[in-house]
A and B are shown apart, each in its own frame.
Chain A
Amino acid sequence: MTTLLQVKDLHVQFSAAGGGLFGLRPRKVNAVNGASLTLAAGQTLGLVGESGCGKSTLARAILQLNPVTAGQVVFDGIDMTQGRKVDIARLRRETAMIFQDPYSALNPGQRIGQILAEVLQVQRKVPAERIPARVVELLELVGLHPEMAERKPGSLSGGQCQRVGIARALAIEPRLIVADECVAALDVSIQGQIINLLLTLRERMGLALLFITHDLGVVRRLCDRVAVMYLGQIVEEGPVDEVFDAPHHPYTAALIQSIADIDPARRLPERPLAGEPPSPLHLPSGCAFHPRCPQALPTCSETAPPSHSQGARRHACIHPRPPY
Chain B
Amino acid sequence: MSHSPSPTRSLRWRLVWSLRNGRLTLYCGLAIVLGWCLLALCAPWIAPFDPLMQNGELRLAAPSLAHPFGTDNFGRDVLSRVIWGARIDLQMALIGVIFPFLLGTCIGAISGYIGGLLDNACMRLIDIVLAFPFLVLMLAIMAILGPGLGSFYIAMALVGWVSYARLIRSQILVLKQSDFALAARSLGFSHRRTLFGHLLPNALFGSVVFCMSDAVLVLLNGAAVSYLGLGVQPPTPEWGSMVAEGQSFITIAWWICTFPGLAVVTLAMGFSLLADGVAERLGDRS
**CB < 8 Å A-B pair total:** 54
Q: Give the complex CA separation of A81 and B138 in angstroms.
A: 51
Do B188 and A168 touch (CB < 8 A)?
no
Judge whether A27 is part of the interface by a CB distance below 8 angstroms: no
**Closest CB-CB distance, A171 to chain B, in whole Å?**
8
| Contacting residues of chain B (34-74) with chain A, CB-CB under 8 angstroms | none
Interface string of B173-187 (1 = CB under 8 A from A): 000001110111111
**Closest CB-CB distance, A280 to chain B, in whole Å?**
19
**Closest CB-CB distance, B127 to chain A, in whole Å?**
21
Do B182 and A101 touch (CB < 8 A)?
no
Do A92 and B186 touch (CB < 8 A)?
yes
Do A168 and B187 touch (CB < 8 A)?
yes
**Closest CB-CB distance, A210 to chain B, in whole Å?**
13
Most buried by B among A104, A107, A110: A107
Give the chain B neighbours of A279 by CB distance below 8 A.
Answer: none
Shortest Cβ distance from B198 into A: residue: A107
How many residues does chain B have at the interface if contact means C-beta atoms less than 8 Å apart? 18
How many residues does chain A have at the interface if contact means C-beta atoms less than 8 Å apart? 27
Shortest Cβ distance from B181 into A: residue: A107
Do A104 and B180 touch (CB < 8 A)?
yes
Q: A107-B198, A109-B201 are in contact. Are A97 and B183 (CB under 8 A)?
A: yes
Give the chain B neighbours of A96 by CB distance below 8 A.
Answer: 186-187
Interface string of A82-101 (1 = CB under 8 A from B): 00000001001101110111
**Closest CB-CB distance, A244 to chain B, in whole Å?**
31
**Closest CB-CB distance, A47 to chain B, in whole Å?**
17
Give the chain A neighbours of B248 by CB distance below 8 A.
Answer: none
Q: Give the complex CA separation of A123 and B188 in angstroms.
A: 8
Instruction: Name the prevailing secondary structure of the B interface residues.
Output: helix
Give the chain A neighbours of B188 by CB distance below 8 A.
Answer: 89, 92-93, 122-123
Judge whether B251 is part of the interface by a CB distance below 8 angstroms: no
Q: Give the complex CA separation of A173 and B202 in angstroms.
A: 28
Judge whether A105 is part of the interface by a CB distance below 8 angstroms: yes
Give the chain A neighbours of B189 by CB distance below 8 A.
Answer: 118, 122
Give the chain A neighbours of B193 by CB distance below 8 A.
Answer: 122
Judge whether B6 is part of the interface by a CB distance below 8 angstroms: no
Judge whether B4 is part of the interface by a CB distance below 8 angstroms: no
**Closest CB-CB distance, A85 to chain B, in whole Å?**
11
| Contacting residues of chain B (110-138) with chain A, CB-CB under 8 angstroms | none
Judge whether A194 is part of the interface by a CB distance below 8 angstroms: no
Q: A107-B198, A107-B202, A108-B202 are in contact. Are A122 and B179 (CB under 8 A)?
A: no
Judge whether B2 is part of the interface by a CB distance below 8 angstroms: no
Q: Give the complex CA separation of A106 and B188 in angstroms.
A: 15
**Closest CB-CB distance, B196 to chain A, in whole Å?**
12
**Closest CB-CB distance, B187 to chain A, in whole Å?**
5
Q: Give the complex CA separation of A136 and B41 in angstroms.
A: 49
Q: Give the complex CA separation of A122 and B286 in angstroms.
A: 28
Q: Give the complex CA separation of A99 and B177 in angstroms.
A: 13
Do B186 and A63 touch (CB < 8 A)?
yes
| Contacting residues of chain B (159-212) with chain A, CB-CB under 8 angstroms | 178-180, 182-190, 193, 197-198, 201-202
**Closest CB-CB distance, A134 to chain B, in whole Å?**
15
Do A109 and B202 touch (CB < 8 A)?
yes
Do B183 and A105 touch (CB < 8 A)?
yes
Give the chain A neighbours of B190 by CB distance below 8 A.
Answer: 122
Give the chain A neighbours of B180 by CB distance below 8 A.
Answer: 104-108
Q: Give the complex CA separation of A154 and B201 in angstroms.
A: 15
Give the chain A neighbours of B286 by CB distance below 8 A.
Answer: 108, 154
Give the chain A neighbours of B202 by CB distance below 8 A.
Answer: 107-109
7 contacts between A and B (CB under 8 A): A99-B179, A104-B180, A105-B180, A107-B198, A108-B180, A122-B187, A154-B286
B residues with a Cβ closer than 8 A to A are 178-180, 182-190, 193, 197-198, 201-202, 286
Contacts A108-B202, A168-B183 known; 20 new A-B pairs at CB < 8 A? A60-B182, A65-B186, A92-B186, A92-B187, A92-B188, A95-B186, A96-B187, A97-B182, A100-B179, A101-B179, A104-B179, A104-B180, A106-B180, A106-B183, A107-B184, A109-B202, A118-B189, A118-B197, A123-B187, A168-B187
What 3 A-B pairs come out closest when comparing CB atoms? A92-B188, A105-B179, A104-B179
A residues with a Cβ closer than 8 A to B are 60, 63, 65, 89, 92-93, 95-97, 99-101, 104-110, 118-119, 122-123, 154, 165, 168, 172
